[in-house]
Amino acid sequence: MSQLLLRLAKISSSSIWKKKKHHGLCFSEFRSLSTAATPYLLYGETEKYEMTLSCEPLVDLNLYDPRKDETVSFPDRTLTKPLLASMKVGSSRGWVLAKNLYDSTLHLTNMYNPCASASSRKVISLPPIKEGIFRISLSASPDQEDCVVAAKSTGKSISMCRLGDSDWTPIKTPFYGSKMIYSERDGKFYLHNESKEEYSGPIDLVDTSSGFPQVSVYQSFPYSEIPKSRLEQLSSTIKSQHIVESPSGESFIVHWHYECLNIEELETLSPPYQSYTEKLRGFVVFRQDPEQRIASYTEDIGGLCIFLGGNEAFCVSATEYPGLKPNSIYFASFETGFGFYDLSSNTVHQVINLPPFACNYKWLAPLQ
């Protein structure tokens, strides 16, 4: 017992385990690293079945670091017991919304983010909600009093609440399953209509006298022409659409193109790729140009990196995070796996050395 207490007292949050390859073998290496704000991809945590002196469960946080292109583990981090029994349903601003598997309680937390300092780690209880949630967006960091949580359900609605509210406020939306972001530039939430049918209803969906930020249907400018070679490359593909805003306030619409694998292709997959059902074909990016009032096709977003997955889409500058590939889209989905896409060469770089951890396919934005 005394040895266990001594070990718990010496737990260091700055140790990191990383997995490397060496002559075809794998080995583990401990070293001390700074946990400055950086994007990460969430993996499942490893339970230690041990507790701290204050009875908090210990886990190893497992993540993919795109700056180093490697799996990293932060050992002996604490979680709460409710979080251990929860599924991660959304991510925004580096925070995660977790839903308890047994009582459907909701918690907003930064404890899955290794960049959160010990003094800033929080678990915030939110009101229960009946609808299934698949995305969230935050108007500000939960450290700020004016933070509003917007949760997108699978139906024609979103739900909004302030921290400390006893219930959610439902907002009807005109379409299903649309992508949602919060625009720092405009101070409002945007919903993107992916339907082929033109929408002619109201643009603003919230009575702002309620104190909530506006929720607006995103209005894209007409698309410019796409080069014929790109059209041929992406013919017969399925696409999803995403909106994202850069740190400087530029808006982009990103088309994620993929195709379903046929039976023969699925049969050739070996573990751990057997869960993949789709093949990534590429991305098409349109920059919103308010002066020309057109969404211009582009293969050059400069030093920016866009992150798409089960998280709120976000964008960072590669110069602020050395190691990231500029002019790239980092992607993650259960159907296609994860990696990055080089826009200048239109090539996919898939992560092939997958770790022995479950992946949540949600990118964590750098904590603000």
What are 105-159's pLDDT values in tens digits?
999 999 999 999 989 999 999 999 888 898 999 999 999 999 999 999 888 899 9
Range of the domain at 149: 127-194
* pLDDT per residue as tens, the chain (368 positions): 444 443 433 333 344 444 443 323 232 333 334 456 899 999 999 988 888 777 889 999 999 999 999 999 999 999 999 999 999 999 999 999 999 998 889 999 999 999 999 899 999 999 998 888 989 999 999 999 999 999 998 888 999 999 999 999 999 998 886 789 999 999 999 999 877 677 878 999 999 889 999 999 999 999 999 999 999 989 889 999 999 999 999 999 999 999 887 666 655 655 555 556 778 899 999 999 999 999 999 999 999 999 999 999 999 999 999 999 999 999 999 888 899 999 999 999 988 666 777 788 999 999 97
Does 157 reside within a domain? yes
**Could you tell me if residue 186 is inside a domain?**
yes
Number of compact structural domains in the chain: 1
Instruction: Confirm whether 144 is domain-assigned.
Output: yes
Residue 69 included in any domain: no
| Dihedral sign (CA 202, 203, 204, 205) | positive
Is 225 a member of any domain?
no
> Which pTM value belongs to this model?
0.88
Residue 259 lies in a domain: no
- Does 82 map to a domain? no
Q: Is residue 66 part of a domain?
A: no
